[in-house]
């Protein structure tokens, strides 16, 4: 990630600032121009909780045996 883009998006990434769609009401993070749920434009700024809990996830795949 280049430096200007890093500083421009720092507040939304670390401050947990997202958006709420005006049409479907779903929360969107990170902020986008179009809602990924209903594909409508127009969102309102939505600050998420000041404290958040990180839930780690791990994806493990095992190759399947040929039969």
Residue 52 has pLDDT above 70, yes or no: no
Find the mean pLDDT for residues 43-62. Answer: 72
Band of pLDDT at residue 34, cut at 50, 70 and 90: very high
The pLDDT of residue 29 is 83
Range of the domain at 19: 3-47
Band of pLDDT at residue 35, cut at 50, 70 and 90: very high
Answer whether residue 52 is part of any domain. Answer: no
Distance in angstroms (rounded) separating the CA atoms of residues 21 and 46: 10
Answer whether residue 64 is part of any domain. Answer: no
Q: Where are the alpha helices (DSSP H) in 16-61?
A: none
Beta-bridge partner residues of 47: 17
Residue 58 has pLDDT above 80, yes or no: no
Answer whether residue 9 is part of any domain. Answer: yes
Domain count, the chain: 1
């Amino acid at each position: 990630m280049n430096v200007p883009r890093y500083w421009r998006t720092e507040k939304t990434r670390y401050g947990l600032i997202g958006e709420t769609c005006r049409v479907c009401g779903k929360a969107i993070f990170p902020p986008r121009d179009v809602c990924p749920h209903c594909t409508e434009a127009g969102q309102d700024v939505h600050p998420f909780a000041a404290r958040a809990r990180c839930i780690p996830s791990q994806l493990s795949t095992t190759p399947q045996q040929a039969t």
